[in-house]
Amino acid sequence: MTDKAEKQIAELSKTLNEHLYRYHVQDSPTVSDAEYDALFKQLEQLEAQHPHLIKPDSPTHRVGGPPLEGFEQVKHKVPMLSLNNAFTFEELSDFDRSVRERLETEEGGEVTYLAEPKLDGLAISLRYESGILVQAATRGDGTTGENVTDNIRTISMLPLKLRTKKPPAVLEVRGEVFMDTASFDESNKSLIAAGDKPFVNPRNAAAGSLRQLDSRKTAKRRLSIYVYSLGEVEGVEAPASQFKILQWLSGFGLPTNTEIKECIGPEACFKFYEFILKRRPLLGYDIDGVVFKVDDMIQQRELGFRSRTPRWAIAQKFPAEEAQTQLLDVEFQVGRTGALTPVARLEPVFVGGVTVSNATLHNMDEIERKDIRRKDTVIVRRAGDVIPEVARVVVERRKKGARKVKMPARCPVCSSPVERADGDAVARCTGGLSCAAQRREGIKHYASRRAMDIDGLGDKLVEQLSEAGLINSIDDLYKLTAEQLTSLPRMGEKSATNLLESLEKAKQTTLARFVFGLGIRDVGEGGAAALADHFGSLDAIMAADETSLETVEDIGPVVSASVVAFFANADNRAMINALIDHGVNFPVLEKAAVEQRLEGNTYVLTGTLSSMSRDQAKQKLQRLGAKVSGSVSKKTTAVYAGASPGSKVTKAESLNVPVFDEDALQALLNENEL
């Protein structure tokens, strides 16, 4: 009986999955909804009688399961990176020029790009093992995401089993989960009918649906997905171009966007951009731009990555949506580095899918350039469809006597003098750690997702703890008690326990996160990662002088000066010691043990290397203390050239700079690495 049931379940699953593929991917259904429902019910009954026979690719997984207590964390084996943005043809051309220069393309040569719509949804990673979907994870911070496998399985157009007889051992694909316009309208009608608050826009609807702890609720909201790139792949060789990869993935039954095109050169890219912009209202789903990727995978590897973005891709964003409203007032917020940022308080207006009541004014230079005054009628836009900003003033509607905006002479929080250095667009409070706003913003930054990632410690709670006098500095976080927390309004025993557990968990971190969390002026996430990777230990970073700091990738004189000044401050050192005394720790990287044997040397890499990529060679040289430059000068120690080198070799010869081959480079590395 069991053998018969097993056979029936297998046949029904195969049939139903085939119908789903034909309906959702090929848009050519071969059975009616009633016939499909009858087959599905038959499968449900059989699985209920024989639960041990339920397979991971069963169509019944698409209806969702019991609620979860929370999402598990997933570490991405291949980081999920974000993209740099372009808003004009000039910026797109600059990107193309940078690509050609790094690839050392011959004069007049052009690069082929794969162009595709930029979906306005949530990035997702899907892992198939031996053809079966075993894990789905959100992008998170690019390194760690959340396990949303149960929710992803409810997406009907996504195969739970790849359509191939010889699946790869591992196939990890990246894509975007979104909600199309029809499903969005349908979901909002249902929410309104139930007396619930409707979603503001399809992206919020997709995000809210994908992060439901009860996957049965996700199943009721029709989500869609398109895949567009690869992560980890084992057991098979992927195609050599981005365009062919999409065709390859489509052959596995994975849904891919058909609105794609190979474009040669920036002019062709921009023509496609204009074409998609016109088609945007007809697509049936939201997009906010076009993504251009270097099509050749070898060239992608050669171009490599920055700290959080690939050098071989860019997102050309659509023009921001705009709306008119009144500027009620201008207030100045104090950031963690003392920077005073003017913020516009607006008559609420609906723009770009959200209601906006505050907008950035950037700095005083921008206010003066745009001649923004209090009580003006202004045009507000969501720059890049994300950050609201005041684009311009409707001068003809300006009222007589409209007051100009002036930078306050003293900090609005601590009354310390405000200073603006010559040539600096930013004015700063000079109060330092004596300024409550700087301390508070520093704590928010330390707890943020990309820094120490203290779950449950959001901006509002930091404000609450600060106002209650429970925290005045970062290390005060680790002195909090359950009794103190439960004394706060709306803070129950369970919430207090969860926060204390999060604080304890976050003590185990990485050097890069900790350095970023310290909030050193001018040191962003990429800079912190570069410092950690180069020096390997906090002690080494703290002991570094400006000269040694400037040998680090992307660390120039401004950042170097900020790092030295930060660690020279006795209060900052005392705070770091206090954090370590409280148990905050991070592993010392192996790089810390490597002597800086090539310190003081500057090298240039050119051509294609066979034993490693240029990025890998660059990292190895930097690890040994060398500086790697993108251009040849009289200060260059040597040029190392791989196959098909470009004009850098000619430049080196004209300056009498030594030029060596890849074997010599490998010998240099072998000789100096421990």
- Paired tokens of 315: 């997102």
Question: Residue 590, class by beta-carbon neighbours within 10 Å (0-12 exposed, 13-18 middle, 19+ buried)?
Answer: exposed
Q: Residue 6 is inside which H or E element, if any?
A: helix 2-24
CA 619 to chain centre: 22
Q: Count other Cβ atoms within 10 Å, centred on residue 396.
A: 6
189 is catalytic: no
Contact present, 518 and 593 (Cβ < 8 Å): no
- Looking at 492-635, list the stretches that DSSP marks H as alpha helix, in order from N- to C-terminal side: 493-505, 511-517, 525-535, 538-543, 546-549, 557-568, 570-581, 614-623
- Do residues 392 and 329 touch, judged by C-beta distance below 8 A? no
Residue 565, helix vs strand vs coil:
helix
d(CA 534, CA 538) in angstroms, rounded, equals 11
| Tokens found for residue 589 | 């990287």
Q: What separation in angstroms does the CA of 636 have from each of 177, 633, 651?
A: 48, 5, 11
Residue that is written with structure tokens 């326990």 in the block = 497
CB atoms within 10 A of CB 464: 17
Taking CA atoms, 195 is separated from 32, 186, 212, 214, in Å, by 33, 14, 19, 20
Options 118, 293, 317, 648, the catalytic residue: 118
Assign 122 to helix, strand or coil. strand
Q: How crowded is residue 269: how many other Cβ atoms within 10 Å of its Cβ?
A: 25
> CA separation (Å) from 361 to 72, 199, 381, 387?
39, 28, 12, 11
**Which residues, other chains included, contact 127 with Cβ-Cβ below 8 Å and sequence gap of 6+?**
133, 134, 135, 136, 137, 170, 171, 172, 231, 232
Contact between 295 and 112 under an 8 Å Cβ cutoff? The reply is: yes
Tokens, residue 100: 């050609």
Q: Residue 343 in contact with residue 389, Cβ under 8 Å?
A: no
Token readout for 218 is 């996700």
Q: Which of 176, 164, 326, 147 is CA-nearest to residue 255?
A: 176
Cβ(409)–Cβ(364) below 8 Å: no
User: Could you tell me how far CA 371 lies from the centroid of its own chain?
Assistant: 34
Closest CA to 94 of 311, 282, 240: 311
Distance CA 434, CA 443 (A): 14
Both structure tokens of 141: 């911070």
DSSP for residue 640: E
CA distance between the termini of the chain: 65
At a CB cut-off of 8 Å and minimum separation 6, what does 425 contact? 363, 364, 365
- Per-residue b or e along 482-515, where b marks 16 or more CB atoms closer than 10 Å to that residue's CB: eebbeebeebeeeebeebbebbeebbebbbbbbb
Strand partners, 289: 317
Backbone angles phi, psi at 231, to 5 degrees: -110, -120
The residues carrying an active-site annotation are 118
